[in-house]
Amino acid sequence: MLEIDLSDAAVARDPFTAYGRVREQAALARLRVPGLDPWWVVTRHEPARAMLSDPRLEIRADSFMRPDVPDDCLPYMRTMSEMNGPEHARMRTLVAPAFTPRRAAGFRPRIERIVEGLLDDVEERAADDGTVDLLPHFTRPLPMDVICELVGVPGPDRPRWRAYGATVAGGAGRAFAEAIPGIMDGAKAAIARRRAEPGDDLLTDLVTVQAEDGDRLTDAEMVTLVWHLVLAGQTPANLIANAVVALLTHPGQRDALLDDPDLMPGAVEELIRWCGPTLLSIPRYAREDVELCGVRVREGEAVTAAVAAANRDPRVFPDPERLDVTRPKGPNGHLGFAHGPHFCLGASIARVQTQVALAALLRRHPGLTLAATPEELRAPDPGTWRLTALPVTLNA
């Protein structure tokens, strides 16, 4: 049985090659995860898509970080991502109307204002030679600024929420745990405010939503959902940063978007496929013995999808190693937002954010160039394709 070792520096340095090499030899392999029992990893698109939809495989709470937080925060820590079956279906039914593509499109003008304001700040921060780091001043604060808009956080409180977002994006650690009580308290205050003063935002949608059988979200469930948004909503920060590097290192693709901005929605789908931040899906655990790709997976064993391999599977995507912002939409799309019951709830909002951010950046700075090599910027993270910095020169 072929194996991939996550402790191997070559995997972290170039996961697309490492996973892709295994994909062309086997649809299922073993994944060595430091400190854990080995996982199964599905490397090809169709089997991965099927695995992510298989009800015999479930997500468990122990797949997620459990920071040391005060006891009064614990009731809000278990998000919808950790639920399965009817419990997950109930929550999904109640919250899905607030996350439709149409609702996300309705937020576009507000996201555009946020993006333009951040780019104004970027330009003010640029050095005399035009260099500036987009990561701390543009791609990282954007998702939290959008979340604040979606849940109605007042302007004076937004700098504090932006700090929370930067801490959460940094991952586990003491600062991460210390940020959680503030996020929970802010969520409770935002919910109370929207009960008293409804607005045109996602939180108002959730406060007023009611299922056909009269079921509603409790306040505790809404606090948990805000926490979920903060936790999962950081994805566009890495996606946009990766996309900027991809476009600047493929000037023909950048120029195609400059010549025809209407290509942007399709281009974002291609960028998610080609350089999306998710390398591995959240693991699923077999509830019973399951056959995958002709191999028996025992009850209790973990299975993940190698998204980095599946999204470049030549069985689904012609010439998959080539970035092509004009790539036609095929019958089966990328798995950058997962698939099945746990398809990313915020995918539509993430798409709009990314479209708006890239369009505005290219429009305002068509001569944008990288101020470092991509290899210097890449974080050694085998689970997430991300950067440690994004220095650029504006209109070089």
Rounded CA separation 194/379 (Å):
39
349/100 Cα distance (integer angstroms): 9
What is the Cα 295 distance to its own chain's centre? 30
Least confident among 47-61, 161-175, 246-260, 300-314: 161-175
At 212 the pLDDT is: 62
> What confidence score (pLDDT) does residue 78 get?
84
In contact, 276 and 323? CB cutoff 8 Å: no
| pLDDT at residue 209, as a whole number | 75
pLDDT of residue 165: 78
Provide the Cα torsion 165, 217, 94, 349; round to 10°. -20
> What is the model's pLDDT at position 210?
65
Q: How far apart are CA 194 and CA 200, in angstroms?
A: 10
Q: Are 219 and 185 in contact (CB under 8 A)?
A: no
Q: Which residues pair with 132 in a beta bridge?
A: 392
Domains of the chain from N-terminus onward: 3-393 (1.10.630.10)
Number of helices (H) and strands (E), helices first, in the chain?
18, 11
Judged against a pLDDT cut of 60, whether residue 374 lies above it is answered with yes
Which H or E element spans position 13? Answer: helix 9-13
The mean per-residue pLDDT over the stretch 67-88 comes to: 82
Strand (E) positions, the chain? Answer: 3-5, 28-32, 39-42, 57-58, 131-133, 284-286, 290-292, 295-297, 302-305, 369-370, 391-393
Q: What is the mean pLDDT of residues 41-58?
A: 97
Q: Please give the model's pTM, rounded to 2 decimal places.
A: 0.93
Mean pLDDT computed over 264-285: 96
**Which pLDDT score, from 0 to 100, does residue 197 have?**
87
Q: In this model, does residue 289 exceed pLDDT 80?
A: yes
- pLDDT at position 260: 97
Least confident of 207-221, 236-250, 259-273: 207-221
* Predicted local confidence at residue 240, as pLDDT: 97
* Span of 33-37, 350-354, 360-364 with lowest mean pLDDT: 33-37
C-alpha distances in angstroms, 288 versus 40, 55, 84?
Answer: 15, 10, 15
- Pick the more confident residue, 180 or 245: 245
Element (H, E) at 170: none
366 has a pLDDT exceeding 90: yes
Tokens of 99: 């996350």
Is residue 304 over pLDDT 80? yes
Mean pLDDT of 45-69: 83
Q: pLDDT digits over 171-192, tens only?
A: 666 777 788 888 889 889 988 8
Residue 282 in tokens: 């959240």
CB 48 within 8 A of CB 23: no
pLDDT at 268: 98
DSSP tag of 62: G
pLDDT computed for residue 157 by the predictor: 86
Across 82-95, average pLDDT: 89
Question: Does residue 218 have a pLDDT over 70?
Answer: yes
Phi/psi at 237 (nearest 5 deg)?
-60, -50
What average pLDDT does range 237-248 have in this prediction?
96
Return d(Cα 103, Cα 108) in angstroms, integer: 9
pLDDT at position 362 is: 97
pLDDT tens per residue, range 121-142 = 999 999 999 999 999 999 999 9
User: Any idea which residue has 């073993």 for tokens?
Assistant: 30
Amino acid at site 194:
R
pLDDT > 90? residue 331: no
Q: Please give the mean pLDDT across all residues of the chain.
A: 91
d(CA 227, CA 183): 7
- Please name the residue that has the structure tokens 């699923």: 284
377: nearest Cα among 390, 359, 360: 390
Task: Give 254-305 as a DSSP string.
Answer: HHHHHH-GGGHHHHHHHHHHHH-SB-BPPPEEESS-EEETTEEEPTT-EEEE
In the chain, what is the straight-line distance between the N-terminal and C-terminal CA atoms, in Å? 50
pLDDT at residue 227, as a whole number? 84
Sign of CA dihedral 15, 352, 151, 343: negative
Q: How confident is the model at residue 48 (pLDDT cuts 50, 70, 90)?
A: very high
pLDDT of 36 above 80: yes
Which of these, 341, 316, 385, lies nearest to 93 by C-alpha position? 341
